[in-house]
Chains A and B, each alone.
Chain A
Amino acid sequence: DTGVSQNPRHKITKRGQNVTFRCDPISEHNRLYWYRQTLGQGPEFLTYFQNEAQLEKSRLLSDRFSAERPKGSFSTLEIQRTEQGDSAMYLCASTGGRYNSPLHFGNGTRLTVT
């Protein structure tokens, strides 16, 4: 069990640029989540995959955000035309097994938009 891996750990970009983050879940986990966390707040749900199917998206999620999970393995989160308000920690989590299994989180990608 190597845990959930996220890359890069840090990303600094200029406003208007596109960025993409990658998440590698725990290998046997079929469910994958993306969350965003700003300073002093709890994680905020963005989207959820079961295998390769994106089953749930936050209504707050701008159409500049898109996520994929091809073949039900790793996932990518892309933010187009970044804005300063996108600066946050982006967390990926995975889980499997029973419905009440806890989420296992990666260490996150910290995005800074200048």
Chain B
Amino acid sequence: QVQLKESGPGTVQPSRTLSLTCTVSGYSLINYGVSWVRQPPGKGLEWIAAIWSGGSTGYNSVLKSRLSISRDTSKSQVLLKMNSLQTEDTAMYFCARDDYSGDGFDHWGQGVMVTVSS
């Protein structure tokens, strides 16, 4: 069955770079993409970035200058990098399956909590 699992460092110091990995199983990244979504404690959902089956990418307008998304299809992994971290970036980060056809966001990972703190 389709599964996604996020992994990351837990705590990151301000101004440093965050690296998160989404490892997928049950499908190929050649056929479906991945979106990243975050949720600060007690707040709503915010879409961050996506990489689709053809390898094209898209980013949140406000965060775009700080983000990079890539993939390793042989490892079934999607990597998200965010630089210049601030305390406002403290959040739960989720990855979800995405798709051009409109049938996306049907499967989500459990999320990984990232705290920005010195």
A binds B: no
Point out residues on B near A: beta carbons under 8 Å.
Answer: none
